[in-house]
Amino acid sequence: MMQKLLLLLALSISSTGLLAQTNADSVRLDKFYYGSLEKVLDEITAEYGVHFVFDRPALAALRIEERPFNKPLIRFLEQICRPRDLKFMRLPDGSIRILGAYENPETDALTQKPFVRSGAKQKNITVAGLITDRASGEALPFVSVRVMNAPIGVTANVDGQFTLLHVPTDTSILLFTYVGYEPVLVFLSPEAPLMNLQVSMKSEATLQEVVVTAEKEELLKASEQVSMFKMTPAKLATLPSLGERDIFRSFQLMPGISAANEHTSGLYVRGGTPDQALTLYDGFTVYNVDHLFGFFSAFNSNSIKDVQLFKGVFDAKYGGRLSSVVEITGKDGNNRRFNAGGDLSLLSANVWLEQPFGEKFTTIVTARRSWKGPLYEKIFDRFSGESEQAAGPFGNRFGNAQVSSYFYDVNAKATWKPNKRDVYSLSFYNGADKLDNSITPQLPSGFGGGGGRLNLGITDLTTWGNTGASLKWSRKWSERLYSNSLISYSSYYSQRDRSSSGTFEQDGETQEIRRGTLENNLLKDFSAKTDWEWKFLPGHQLEFGASATQNDITYTYAQSDTATLLDRSTAGLTATTYVQDKASFFKEKLVVTPGIRATYFSPSGKMYYEPRANLSYKIGEHLKLKAATGLYYQFAKRVIREDVLSGSRDFWVLTDGDRLPVASSKQYVAGAAWENSQWLFDAEAYYKSLDGLTEYSLRFTPSGPGQFDYEENFYNGTGVSRGIDLLLQKKYGRFNGWVGYTLSDTRQNYPVYGGEFYASNDVTHEFKVTGLYHWRRWDFSATWIYASGKPYTAPEGGYQITLLDGTSRDFLNVSAKNAYRLPDYHRLDVAATYNFRFGKAPATFGISLFNLYNRANVWYKEFEIINNQVISTDVYYLGATPNLTLGVKLR
C-alpha cells in the first residue's frame, strides 16, 4: 500500500502548468531527441506546450534516441511507447497520460481509496469483469473476489471472468485475492464500469522487498474448500528442488499426500494410488505424470498458470477417479509483445517463447529436454540399478552399456479472444522418456564354441510418453450463465523390453533367441465435454454438464518371442452427465453443495450413479467447520503386476465389470479450519472404502495343475483407508511456511493373498516441515520429511515335503503379504535463490541440496535366490545431491 502511495506522489504533471494548453494533434516534431524519456517529454512540453502526466522515476529510467522527420506527435508517441511496454491516453483537459501497457486507468483509479466517498446511487447491484496479470495481460483463473464487510464472494472462472450478484451498493469495496499475487482492493463508485471491471493483479515482483500487509501473496492456499489446495507455479522456484521446479513434488509437501516416493511424481493421496488421481491439463486427461523413473513430473512449470488439487470428496463435475483431482491450467501467453526466457540446470535445459498476434491472439511454446549433466547421470545410474548398492539386473556382465537416455516435453497453446464473451484455445502437450540400459557384449573369442557362433545382446529399454491436445471454447452468455466446452485427445504409451536376445549360428542356419520381459501398453482417450454454470437464483449456483470418453487400451506381456502371457485389447465408451447446486444460506455462513453424477459405461452396459455432498459452516470470524461425502467410480484403471523379486510394475486396463470390476470408493471427510490474517490451522479426518481393486500376480496358480489361462491371474480385492491430516501454516511474513502431519492406516483385502494386509503405500506417520525466508535479494528454503517405513513382501523361508516315492521336494515360501516394513524414511532439502538482473533481464540463480545429511533411504529390496538361499539387497533412493539452476527472461 505504501508503495502505491509513493507511486501516486511520483506521478506529477509537468512543471509548465501555467502555459496555455496546445492541441496535441496539431504538433509535428522535427529534430533529434535523445536522453531519458522523462527529459524528452519535458523538452516537448517546453517546445510545444503539450502537457504530459507520467510516472517520473519510471520514465527517467528509459532512454531513447529518435529523429522524427516532421512526424505528428501522436505517431511519435505510438512509436516510442509500444516497444517499451507503455501506452498513452488523452485526458479530458487535453494533456496526455503515459502509462504501463497493462495498467487500466479506469480500474486503477478505483484501487486508490478516494478522499471523499460519494453517496451510493444504486443498491443490490451486479458487478462483473475480467481479472488479468499486470505483467503479461493474461487472464487469471479462479481468483477469489469478495465484498468487504458483506458475506458475498465468488471465484472467477477459468477464463478470469467473474460475476458478483447482490453487491449491497455501488460504493462497496471489493477484495481480489489470488495465490502468488498481491491482493487488490477496488473501491466502487457510481461512475465505475460496474459490468466491465478490468482488474489487473501484480505477481510478487522478485526484486521487491516483501511488505507485510493484511493480505499478502502466498505460495500455497489451503482450506478454501473441503480437502482442496491451490499453488502458484510462479513462486515454486523458491522451494528446494532437484533440477526442476515441480508442481507435483511441491504438492507432496502437503499433509495427506505422501512424500516418501522419490520413484514417482504421481500422487499417493490419502491411501490412494497415482492412477486414482485424475490429472487434467487444459481439460485433457494425462495418464502418466512421470519423467525419468518418476523423479520429475511430466509438467513444465513454465507453461502452467494455475493448479488446483482436490484430496478427495471432489465436486460432481469431476469423475472417473477414486482418489483425487489435479486441474492444471496452462498459460495463454503475453498478449502485448514477444517475450522469452529459459532455465538451465544440471539436469535439463528449458526455454519458453510468447508471441502475440494482435491483441486478441496469443501463443506460447515451452520446451525442455534433459541433457547428460552430472545430475541426470546420477539419477539414471541409481534408478537403473547400476550403483554400487544395487547390483545390476543381470549380475556381472561382459561389455559396456551403450547408454542413450533422455526425456523431453513440449507445450504449446494458442488462444483467441475475439470479443469479451468468447475465448477459444488450442492446447497441445507431448512428452516422452527413453531409458536405455542395453548392453552389447564383447565376448572373449571362442566363447560359445562347439562349432557354433554366438552373438548375444542384452536389451534393457523402457520408453513411455504422453500426447494430449484440447480445443476449448468458453462463452459468457450473460452475467449469470457461462459455459466451457471442449474436445480432446490423449494418448499414453509404455514399452518395456528387458530381455536377452541373440542369434545363434549352427550348421549354416541362424537361430534367434529372445527371453525376458516384454511389455507394451497403449492407451487412447477421445473426449468431448461441456460444463455450464448458471446463477439461477440468489444464493444458488447451478453447475451442470455432460461428457463422453472413448477409451481404447491394449496391453501385451510376454516372457519371450513365443510365450505371450497376456494380450488384451479393450475399448469402451463412458458417457456422463452431472448436476450440482452450490447453495448458500444465512448470509453465506452455511454453504451446501449437493450433486449427482450419472455415467453409462458400455463394456459393462450399466449405469453408475454417484451422489456427492459438500458442506461448510462458518462460526464467527475465524472458524469454519466442513464435511463432505461422496461415491466415486473408476472405469479405466492401472493394475499392478506384482513382482516380489525385481519390483512391481503396472499397466492401464479398461475394466469390464466382470473379471476386471469397475472400481468404486465411498468417502467421508469431516474437519475444521481456523484462520486469521497470519495463521491457518486446518484439520481433516477421512474414511475411505474402496472396492473393485485389481492386481496381477503370477505367484499363484489359479485353477490347479495343468494348463491355465493367464487372464485368470487378475485378482480382485477391497481396501479401507482412514486417517487425519493436520496443517499449521504461517501464511505471511519474511519467514513463512507450514508444518503438516498425517496419521493414516491403509489396508487392502485380497482373498488370494490370504485376507487383509497393509497396502504397499501405507505410511503410518508422515511429518513434513517447509520453511521459507526472504532476505534482501535472497530466498532461502528448507524442507524436512519424515515418514514411517512402507510394508513389503519378502521370501521368508523354506520347507521340505517327502513325496510318495520317498524323495523330497523343497519349497521356498513368501511371507504374508506386506508383513515386513522398510526402515523409516527421512531427508532434509535446502535451497537458496539469488534474484538479480542480467543486463536488463530479470534472472535468478539457485543452488539446492537434496538430502543434505545423506540419509540412505531404502527404496525397495531385491531378492535373488541362489541354491535355495535368499540374497537380499537394499536398493536406495538418492543420497546427498547438489544442483545449480540459472534462469533468465527477457522481461
State the residues that interact with other proteins by CB under 8 A: 517, 559, 619, 623, 625, 643-646, 668, 670-672, 674, 681, 683-687, 698-701, 704-706, 722-724, 743, 745, 747, 754, 756-758, 795-807, 809, 811-816, 819-821, 863-865, 868-870
Using the minimum distance from each CB to other proteins, give the nearer residue, 579 or 685.
685
Cell of 31: 529534430
With respect to other proteins, which residue has the nearer C-beta, 160 or 723?
723
| Cβ nearer to other proteins, comparing 517 with 574 | 517
With respect to other proteins, which residue has the nearer C-beta, 249 or 790?
790
Chain-centroid distance of CA 477 in Å reads: 30
Question: What's the min distance (Å) between Cβ of 853 and other proteins?
Answer: 29
Nearest-approach distance from CB 458 to other proteins, in angstroms = 14
Residue 207 identity? L
Q: Which residue has the cell 479398461?
A: 654
Beta bridge partners of 181: 203
Taking the complex as a whole, how short is the minimal distance between the CB of residue 744 and other proteins, in angstroms?
Answer: 8
Minimum CB–partner distance for residue 440 and other proteins (Å): 22
CA pair distance 618, 131, nearest whole angstrom:
27
Taking the complex as a whole, the smallest distance from the CB of residue 791 to other proteins amounts, in Å, to 9
Question: Is residue 881 helix, strand or coil?
Answer: strand
**CA separation, residue 674 to residues 223, 575, 669, 680 (Å):** 9, 40, 17, 6
Gyration radius (Cα) of the chain, Å: 31
Q: Which is nearer to other proteins, 445 or 802 (CB)?
A: 802
Q: Rounded CA gap, 845 and 685, in Å?
A: 41
CB-nearer residue toward other proteins: 43 or 864? 864
First CA to last CA across the chain, in angstroms?
24
Q: Give the helix/strand (H/E) hosting 5.
A: helix 2-10
SS3 content of the chain, % helix, strand, coil (to 5): 10, 55, 35
Distances (CA, A) of 37 to 66, 726, 753: 11, 54, 77
Quote the cell numbers at residue 240: 528446494
What are φ and ψ of residue 865, in 5° steps?
Answer: -110, 115
Taking the complex as a whole, the smallest distance from the CB of residue 863 to other proteins amounts, in Å, to 7
Q: In this complex, which beta carbon is closest to other proteins, that of residue 5 or of residue 645?
A: 645
In the complex, what is the shortest distance from the CB of residue 801 to other proteins, in angstroms, rounded to a whole number? 6
Find the shortest distance in angstroms from Cβ 628 to other proteins: 13
Look up residue 511 and give its amino acid.
Q
Of residues 190 and 502, the one with the C-beta less far from other proteins? 502
Q: Three-state DSSP class for 8?
A: helix
141/74 Cα distance (integer angstroms): 36
Q: Rounded to whole angstroms, how far apart are CA atoms 287 and 283? A: 13
Burial of 400 from C-beta contacts in 10 A (0-12 / 13-18 / 19+): exposed
Phi, psi for 779 (deg, rounded to 5): -120, 125
Rounded to a whole number of angstroms, the minimum distance from the CB of residue 792 to other proteins is: 10
Quote the least distance from Cβ 805 to other proteins, whole Å: 4
Distance in angstroms (rounded) separating the CA atoms of residues 721 and 866: 38
Q: Burial, 43: exposed, middle or buried (Cβ in 10 Å; 0-12, 13-18, 19+)?
A: middle
* Alpha helices, DSSP H, located in 161-290: 247-251
Provide the 3-class DSSP secondary structure of residue 109: helix
Nearer to other proteins, 255 or 294 (CB): 255
Cβ proximity to other proteins: between 705 and 839 the closer is: 705
Closer to other proteins by Cβ: residue 515 or 889: 515
Tell me the C-alpha distance between 745 and 766, whole Å: 11
Contact criterion met (CB below 8 Å) for 118 and 110? no
Nearer to other proteins, 167 or 222 (CB): 222
Q: Most distant CA pair in the chain: distance in Å?
A: 122
By beta-carbon proximity to other proteins, the closer residue of 418 and 797 is: 797
Q: Are 718 and 666 in contact (CB under 8 A)?
A: no
Q: How far is the CB of 584 from other proteins (least distance, A)?
A: 22
CB of 807 to other proteins, least distance (A): 8
Residue 650 identity: D
Among candidate residues 839, 834, 811, 827, the one with its CA nearest the CA of residue 884: 834
**Closest approach of other proteins to the CB of residue 137, in Å:** 42
Output the smallest distance, CB 816 to other proteins, in A. Answer: 4
Between 432 and 685, name the residue whose CB sits nearer to other proteins: 685
Of 625, 610, 728, give the one whose Cα is nearest residue 685: 625
CA distance 322 to 666: 9
Residue 167: what residue type?
V
Per residue, what are the HEC states of 851-869?
A: CCCCCCCEEEEEEEEECCE
| 649 neighbors 670 (Cβ within 8 angstroms) | no
Instruction: Find, among 306, 156, 307, 310, the residue nearest to 228 by Cα.
Output: 310
In this complex, which beta carbon is closest to other proteins, that of residue 2 or of residue 801? 801
Nearer to other proteins, 14 or 384 (CB): 384
Q: Which among 588, 581, 597, 669 has a CA at the least distance from the CA of 633?
A: 597
Nearer to other proteins, 797 or 882 (CB): 797
- Least distance from other proteins to the Cβ atom of residue 630, Å: 16
In the complex with other proteins, which residue's Cβ is closer, 431 or 671?
671
Provide, rounded to whole angstroms, the least separation between the CB of residue 557 and other proteins: 12
Compute the least distance from the CB of residue 668 to other proteins, in Å.
Answer: 8
CB of 295 vs other proteins, minimal distance in Å? 26
Strands (E), 170-219: 173-177, 184-187, 197-201
List, in order, residues 6 or more apart from 815 with CB less than 8 Å away.
793, 794, 795, 796
